[in-house]
Amino acid sequence: MRTDTPQTIYRKDYTAPSYLVDAVELGFDLDPARTVVANRLTLRRNDAAGTGGARREIELYGEELQLVAIRLNGKALGARDYAIDGALLRIPCDAQDVVLEIETICVPETNTTLSGLYVSNGNFYTQCEAEGFRRITYFPDRPDVMATYTVMLRADKRQFPVLLSNGNLIEEGDLPDGRHYALWEDPFKKPSYLFALVAASLVCQEETFPLQDGRRALLQVWVEEGNLDKTDYAMQSLKRSIRWDEERWNLELDLDRFMIVAVGDFNMGAMENKGLNIFNTKYVLANPRVATDVDFQGIEAVVGHEYFHNWTGNRVTCRDWFQLSLKEGLTVFRDQEFSADMIGTASGRAVTRIDQVRTLRQAQFPEDAGPMAHPVRPDSFVEINNFYTVTVYEKGAEVVRMYQTLLGRDGFRKGMDLYFARHDEQAVTCDDFRAAMADAGGRDLSQFERWYSQAGTPVVQAETHYDAERQTYTLRLVQSCPATPGQAGKLPFHIPVAVGLLGADGRDLPLTLDGVDLGTTAVLELVEADQSFVFGGVREQPTPSILRDFSAPVILKYGYSDAELVLLFSHDSDPVNRWEAGQRLAMGRLLKLAEDAAAGRSLDLDDVFVDAMRKMLVDASLDPAFREQALLLPSETMIADQMDVVDPMAIHMARQFVRADIGARLRSELRAQYDASQTPGEYSPDAESIGRRALKNLCLAYLCAAPDEAAIALARRQFDEAGNMTDRVAALGALVHARASSAVADAAAHADDALRRFYDEFQGEALVVDKWFAMQASAPTTDVAAVRALMTHPAFTLRNPNRARSLVSTFCGANPVGFHAPDGSGYAFWAESVIALDALNPQVASRLARAMDRWRRYAPALQKHMKKALQQVAGRATLSNDVREVVGKALA
């Protein structure tokens, strides 16, 4: 917690480290109240780094450490031999080779930030990315300092029977006084942020797994006792990840042992520490009784993501934290491709792609249009932990995907091979990645750099003209990009725009551009601000399908008629654009209805839209998973993002009206589809079954959006008879959301009864209790008073990030009606919660703080309350850098 003005760090100020570290030897005497860390560093002067005329110094960082002793080449240093300025410890030194020994003490049991060395449920864990290692020992804690690590762990044997660190176990044994030790050695050079240790009472599922090159690796999934019945899926996902990386990229596991450890207190999803991944329990523990389909999918994606980091992030790492997307964008792209390949079918791939587009629109586009907007490779930050964003991750993945779209799959693979050939065991930049792609593909990708340096979502405005006489069809694309903080004007991007043309019968027309036959989907390269493409041999007036497969993270504007959208929604051979047409049909109506609701006019939904939805619902030739996506309306956040002045209540009323109207008008079709989508037999989280359950449960949600006694009875029956958590929570959600219905007797009692029974049955399962809180926090009938009441529940605590997020963050981020109450009570609650959380865990507080990002978009009456709440937080004398940066930028 700091009180001084936080410092901004700039990318342009990067300088190379004055000393490099070749080897690190760490000794830990682990004690929750007083852990002693002995650190022996072998350093080498980095002559490539200038000192700007100043005397050379060894620069080390340390936070929350008690410094016991420092020795330089065997000589004890006194207080005058070094200087400590905040987190920075500087030792004047010019020697070529140096051995530095440092002894420090830290207190894991009081570390509530969950960064550095901390205690969770009595066990020790570490989290070092981005700058947590400096909370363990003094060190040149920056990713371009890569060293080999040898780690000796000592702890009480009864309390901490399992002692783990990175790499290979060299030796273990007993010590006097009931203690024991384990010596670990990691043969690969790594930056300090990839260091990890675990000292705990845990159990594991393990097996040896054959690698492509004939070696066998020991795989382990470590969990607390009582959870071994929930590790199978993580283990299977790990094995699939290893195999996929070998087969798709020829990348092998480089260690003899790979460990995953699950911990209940964790700030993020998981962490890719070399050979010792530490995971939030949410992304490890699953069985059908406690985990939903979405949980299973999340586990596969995150296990893959962390495993893939072993090459994209660990073997080749980032030069500095501005390059974060080098590893994160690339690794998200890899985990997205992994998930898509695991499904295998074209339609399954499309559904994963639609999910990605949804995430971008739901979270990244708003970020890119708000006060925290930043380029994929930021130019500055106050607190790096604030930059683990959807822009760095998801937009970063889109940028990587665009290389593949421009170079083709084979060209992209060549670029990846060249990247590893050039940079293995190095710390590099996004420019190095781009250079590998350009060189491997023989392409000039200099303009493509703007995807890294310019923030904001580009807008592509399309116009078309059909010349029947010449049989030409002209597509004019005009691109622009709105101003973002610190970036007023933007230059044109290099945008791949995949395009197809549909005939009146809905079939793809053959494409010819400048006499070249391009099949049925052409990837146009938009590089100018205003550029036209003329297709030849077009025999009829076509309907354009633009931005197929969402070929670039842009907003496409085109004046589609309803008839064109219905044609695309019924026929587009590109499933992503087929879905997109439905979203456009829905969005047009939702915006109009929100206006009507705000003006107090009566609401009405036209037959064209309802018929299109009906057709989609009953089209048995389409995958259930795709139909579910196509029938899901844009979220309230997405609708809000389209409005100049956001009225959350009007948006909610509009969307609820559409849901209820569909529920009522398609009642019999929904009911029939509900019955047709059952998944008899044993639960399995395969894509086909997941799709059927998703469609079935969407039907239930629609039926309960216009509830009659039959719909509620259906939900109750599903709740009672559900053989898995997916169906159980879907039914509970339907009941809770129908709570206020006046059309059904005892709607509230049914909801309350189900909630009570759910809690009684699952109170021993922390992750399920999180769902129980989140379900109530997001229900539109839940107001601040109800949230405050839930906070007094014995199972609630702000100290556990998952639990705090399940109630507080869900209410502030996913319950627009409750949060934006006209009296400002939601915002006052937000301010109070940010302040309370900040005292415990700045990273979690800062994420919550972002719920107010877009405050300037709301109606003036709401803005006034929001500003007051922001000022209340900003006015606190003690605030973390994390929160200060977020609220400061919001108010700027």
Interface residue list for ligand 0A1 (CB under 6 A): 127, 129-130, 267-272, 305-306, 328, 385, 388, 843
Residue 217 or 332: the one with the smaller Cβ distance to Zn ion is 332
| Per-residue CA distances from 439 to 417, 808, 836, 848 (Å) | 11, 49, 51, 42
Q: Which stretch binds Zn ion (CB under 5 A): 240-248, 331-339, 441-449, 828-836?
A: 331-339
Residue among 59, 63, 224, 306 flagged as catalytic: 306
Q: What are phi and psi of 52, to 5 degrees?
A: 65, 30
Residue closer to ligand 0A1, measured from CB, 385 or 880: 385
For ligand 0A1, the closer CB: 268 or 849: 268
Q: Which does 398 bind (CB under 5 to 8 A by kind): ligand 0A1, Zn ion, none?
A: none
C-alpha distance from residue 185 to each of 3, 170, 284 (Å):
40, 7, 26
Q: Binding string, 276-315, against Zn ion, x = CB under 5 A?
A: ----------------------------------------
Q: Which does 131 bind (CB under 5 to 8 A by kind): Zn ion, ligand 0A1, none?
A: none
Which residues lie across from 754 on neighbouring strands? none
- Is 878 buried (19+), middle (13-18) or exposed (0-12) by CB count in 10 A? exposed
CA dihedral for 626, 289, 703, 812, sign (positive or negative): negative
Kindly tell me which of 301 and 705 has the beta carbon lying closer to Zn ion. Answer: 301
Q: By C-beta, is 305 or 349 nearer to Zn ion?
A: 305
Percentages (nearest 5) of helix, strand, coil residues in the chain: 45, 20, 35
Alpha carbons 234 and 17: distance in angstroms, whole number = 39
Minimum CB distance to ligand 0A1, residue 327 (Å): 8
Concatenating the DSSP letter of every residue in 664-714 gives HHTHHHHHHHHHHT---SS----HHHHHHHHHHHHHHHHHHHS--HHHHHH
CB of 126 to ligand 0A1, least distance (A): 11
Shortest Cβ 334–Zn ion spacing (Å): 10
Q: Which is nearer to Zn ion, 394 or 641 (CB)?
A: 394
Place of tokens 């992503």: 576
Closest by CA to 448, choosing from 394, 387, 391, 491, is 491
Nearer to Zn ion, 328 or 661 (CB): 328
The stretch among 67-75, 181-189, 320-328, 792-800 that binds Zn ion (CB under 5 A) is 320-328
With beta carbons less than 8 A apart as the criterion, state whether 849 and 834 touch.
yes
Taking the C-alpha atoms of residue 866 and residue 855, their distance in angstroms, rounded to an integer, is: 6
Residue 266 or 855 having the CB closest to ligand 0A1: 266
**How far is it, in rounded angstroms, from Cα 49 to Cα 57?**
11
Query: How many residues line the site for Zn ion (CB under 5 A)?
Result: 2
CB 449 within 8 A of CB 492: no
Q: Which is nearer to Zn ion, 186 or 328 (CB)?
A: 328
Among ligand 0A1, Zn ion, none, what binds residue 298 when CB lies within 5 to 8 Å by partner kind? none
Site stretch for Zn ion (CB under 5 A), options 82-90, 126-134, 323-331, 827-835: 323-331
For residue 815, the number of C-alpha atoms closer than 13 Å in the C-beta half-sphere is: 29
Q: Which does 267 bind (CB under 5 to 8 A by kind): Zn ion, ligand 0A1, none?
A: ligand 0A1
Q: Which residue's beta carbon is nearest to the bound ligand 0A1?
A: 268
Q: Considering CB distances under 5 to 8 angstroms, the limit depending on partner class, which of Zn ion, ligand 0A1, none binds residue 93?
A: none
Q: Minimum Å distance from CB 275 to ligand 0A1? A: 15
269 binds, among ligand 0A1, Zn ion, none (CB under 5 to 8 A by kind): ligand 0A1
Do the strands 216-223 and 427-428 form a parallel or antiparallel pair, or are they unpaired?
A: unpaired
Return the SS3 of 449. helix
The encoded tokens of residue 674 equal: 């509900």
| Bridge partner residues of 150 (DSSP) | 25, 185
The interface partner of residue 129, options being ligand 0A1, Zn ion, none and the CB cut-off 5 to 8 Å by kind, is ligand 0A1
d(CA 577, CA 498): 11
Minimum gap (Å) between residue 388 Cβ and ligand 0A1:
5
Nearest to 595 by CA among 583, 606, 587, 585: 587
Contact of residue 300 among Zn ion, ligand 0A1, none (CB under 5-8 Å per partner type) = none
Q: 335 touches which of ligand 0A1, Zn ion, none (CB within 5 to 8 A by kind)?
A: none
- Min dist CB 64 to ligand 0A1, Å, is 15
Residue 172 falls in the annotated catalytic set: no
CB of 377 to Zn ion, least distance (A): 16
Q: Which does 127 bind (CB under 5 to 8 A by kind): Zn ion, ligand 0A1, none?
A: ligand 0A1
**CA–CA distance, 817 with 788 (Å, rounded to integer):** 16
Least distance in angstroms from the C-beta of 301 to Zn ion: 11
Q: Provide the 10 A C-beta neighbour count for residue 226.
A: 9
Question: b/e string for 696-733 if b means 16 or more Cβ within 10 A?
Answer: bbbbbbbbbbbbbeebbebbbebbeebebbbbbbbbbb
Peptide bond into 130 cis (omega under 30): yes
Q: Write the secondary structure of 802-857 as one string of H (helix), E (strand) and C (coil).
A: HHHHHHHHHHHHHCHHHHCCCCCHHHHHHHHHHHHHHCCCHHHHHHHHHHHCCHHH
Instruction: Output 195 or 388, the one with its CB closest to ligand 0A1.
Output: 388
**Is the CB of 302 or the CB of 699 nearer to ligand 0A1?**
302
List CB contacts of 585: < 8 A, sequence separation 6 or more: 562, 565, 566, 569, 608, 609, 612
Order of strands across the sheet that contains 83-85: 57-61, 88-92, 83-85
Q: Are strands 146-156 and 19-29 parallel, antiparallel or unpaired?
A: parallel
Q: What DSSP string runs through 271-295?
A: E--TTEEEEEGGGT---TTT--HHH
What, of ligand 0A1, Zn ion, none, does residue 130 touch, CB below 5 to 8 Å by kind? ligand 0A1
Q: How far is the CB of 324 from Zn ion (least distance, A)?
A: 9
From the list Zn ion, ligand 0A1, none, pick the one residue 311 interacts with, judged by a Cβ distance below 5 to 8 Å according to partner type. Answer: none
Which of these, 666, 668, 669, 659, lies nearest to 603 by C-alpha position?
659
Nearest approach in angstroms of CB 426 to ligand 0A1 is 19
Decide whether 322 or 758 has the Cβ nearer to ligand 0A1: 322
Closest contact distance (angstroms) between CB of 385 and ligand 0A1 is 5
Shortest distance (Å) from residue 253 CB to Zn ion? 17
**418-427 burial, b for 16+ CB within 10 Å, e for fewer?**
bbbeebeeeb
Tell me how far apart the terminal alpha carbons of the chain are, to the nearest angstrom.
22
What the block records as the tokens of 117 is: 């060395």
Residue positions annotated with a catalytic role = 306
List interacting residues with Zn ion (CB under 5 A): 328, 331
